[in-house]
Amino acid sequence: MKTFPLGGVHPPENKLTAGIPIRYLPIPPSVAIPVTQHIGSPSEILVKKGDMVKTGQIIAASKGFVSANIHSSVTGVVNKTDSVIDASGFRQTAVFIDTTEDEWLETIDRSSEIITEIKYSPEEIIDKCLESGIVGLGGATFPSHVKLSIPRGKRCDVLIINGVECEPYLTSDHRLMLERSEEILVGITILMKALRVTQAMIGIENNKKDAIARLTGLSGKFPGISIHGLKVKYPQGAEKQLIKALIKREVPSGRLPLDVNTVVHNVGTAFAVYEAVQKNKPLFERVVTITGKSLASPGNYFVRTGTSVRYLIEAAGGVPENTGKIISGGPMMGKAVSNADVPVVKGTSGIVLIPEEESSRSEMTPCIRCAKCVSVCPLNLEPYLLMTLSEKGEFERAVAEGITDCMECGSCSYCCPAHRPLLDYIRLGKSLAAKMARKQMVK
């Protein structure tokens, strides 16, 4: 069974919602659509108070190459542009829209017919992705058109599709692969055409046997696409780990997958690309897993961006009394939200409600030098050392020890028997080291 060789952990899967079909969440009475839902520069707002917007209409335009368009997810009237606290925990600008009856832009094809024929050139496909505001839906939200435009001198020979979903609880990609299999395969074919590659590999963890079987059954119609089952191990869904698992290439430190001639896209992104290219539908809704052990009706929903998490939780039966934390994203890499009014954005893959008794931190005790953190680190770092260096403010040495390579998967904190907040300090060290590097660049 294929997997990445170094480190990794296997937390309880808790995929409670794997068997529940995706439902459509009713449109909320108002939405707050943040203008930064991607990595890169914030988009420029195009609407003002009182404007009527239709579903799918562009409301903020990308500024610069690494940026993405933002579209209205509802039909309604722009109420205000104000700051909103988003899932990152910080304030950012958002467009508030009061919804009226849902009316989509005429250009969007709302039929359920699957169009397999691709009549666009690679350049047209990239333009469509840019127009539709497609970003990586695995969680990092990197604008997809950037990943599809291969710079001069670089080459890509295989496209890797990430259907791993190694985070516990989350099943949005899983359900999407089951219910929109053909659309995903067409999306992958479109991505292959844009990248001018003939081979694509879908990596899926073996706890999703039904998805593997369904896609394998359909893949006969789509030349060049192969499906690979992977051993269940966290963090297999990380780009570098997935590349290593599937094609045995190692992305050097500080480099991109393109340096080893490959590009990785998520299955959710492939679906969004399909909708954008074949149906003219911009990215304004996504599948979100709403789950938790005590939640009344967990499930997967198609959620319009800008919907508040509170509304989503209400739809799933309301906040259970014993809830300790509401986490945006998976429990391993996700972040507890500071209030339930944060909007769902393009990068929100799931909302997990963790019961009180499972959410509290255990008391930290001194490091016993067991080196468990070293053995589980998929990047071969020494988390105990990086934590100490960050805590003491020795950022230069931390950088020399590879702190910037850390992808914050949290395996070290997960397995530490002394409950040391390894990742918390490493993350701090990373951000301060980056700040220091920027300062030196300015000098």
Partner 1 sequence: MLALLAAIILYFIAQKFKVYEDPRIDEIQAILPGANCGGCGFAGCRAFAEALVRAESFDGLNCPPGGADVMAEAARLLGKEAPEVDPLVAVLKCNGRPEYRPLTSFYDGVPDCRIAHSLYLGETDCSYGCLGKGDCVRACPFDAMYMNSETGLPEIIDDKCVACGNCVKACPRNLIELRKKARKDRKIYVACSNCDRGGPARRACRVACIACMKCVKVCKFDAITVENYLAYIDSFKCTLCRKCVAECPTGSILEFNFPPRKPAAEVTSQTIKVNPEV
**Residues making contact with partner 1 (CB under 8 A):** 83, 85, 88-91, 325, 335-336, 338-339, 359-361, 364, 421, 424-425, 427-428, 431-432
Adjacent-strand bridge partners of 266: 162
Least distance in angstroms from the C-beta of 338 to partner 1: 4
Adjacent-strand bridge partners of 291: 352
Least distance in angstroms from the C-beta of 421 to partner 1: 4
Contact 150, 258 (CB under 8 A): yes
Which amino acid is located at 32 in the chain? A
Q: Is 433 helix (H, G, I), strand (E, B) or coil?
A: helix
DSSP letter at 26? P
Nearer to partner 1, 228 or 325 (CB): 325
Nearer to partner 1, 184 or 415 (CB): 415
DSSP letter at 195? H
Nearer to partner 1, 319 or 432 (CB): 432
The angle formed by the CA atoms of residues 178, 164 and 214, to the nearest 5 degrees, is: 25
Least distance in angstroms from the C-beta of 205 to partner 1: 29
Query: Could you count the other beta carbons within 10 Å of the beta carbon of residue 133?
Result: 28
CA distance 25 to 302: 6
Nearer to partner 1, 227 or 342 (CB): 342
Nearer to partner 1, 360 or 380 (CB): 360
Contacts of 197 (CB under 8 A, 6+ apart): 156, 157, 158, 159, 224
Query: Could you count the other beta carbons within 10 Å of the beta carbon of residue 397?
Result: 15
Least distance in angstroms from the C-beta of 333 to partner 1: 14
Contact 9, 411 (CB under 8 A): yes
Nearer to partner 1, 129 or 409 (CB): 409
Cα within 13 Å of Cα(404), Cβ side = 15
Contacts of 34 (CB under 8 A, 6+ apart): 70, 84, 86, 92, 93, 94, 306, 343, 345
Nearer to partner 1, 91 or 196 (CB): 91
The angle formed by the CA atoms of residues 171, 430 and 139, to the nearest 5 degrees, is: 20
Pairing of strands 299-304, 44-45: unpaired
Contact 304, 285 (CB under 8 A): yes
Least distance in angstroms from the C-beta of 424 to partner 1: 5
Going through 173-271 in order, the beta strands assigned E by DSSP cover: 200-205, 225-230, 262-266
Least distance in angstroms from the C-beta of 318 to partner 1: 19
Buried b (16+ CB within 10 A) or exposed e, 283-320: bbbbbbbbbbbebeebbbbebbbbbbbbbbbebbeebe
Peptide linkage before 383 cis (omega within 30 of 0): no
Nearer to partner 1, 320 or 324 (CB): 324
CA distance 293 to 355: 7
Contact 172, 350 (CB under 8 A): yes
Nearer to partner 1, 86 or 285 (CB): 86
Least distance in angstroms from the C-beta of 290 to partner 1: 20
* Radius of gyration over every alpha carbon of the chain, rounded to an integer in angstroms: 21
Least distance in angstroms from the C-beta of 435 to partner 1: 10
Least distance in angstroms from the C-beta of 411 to partner 1: 18
Nearer to partner 1, 20 or 336 (CB): 336
Nearer to partner 1, 85 or 161 (CB): 85
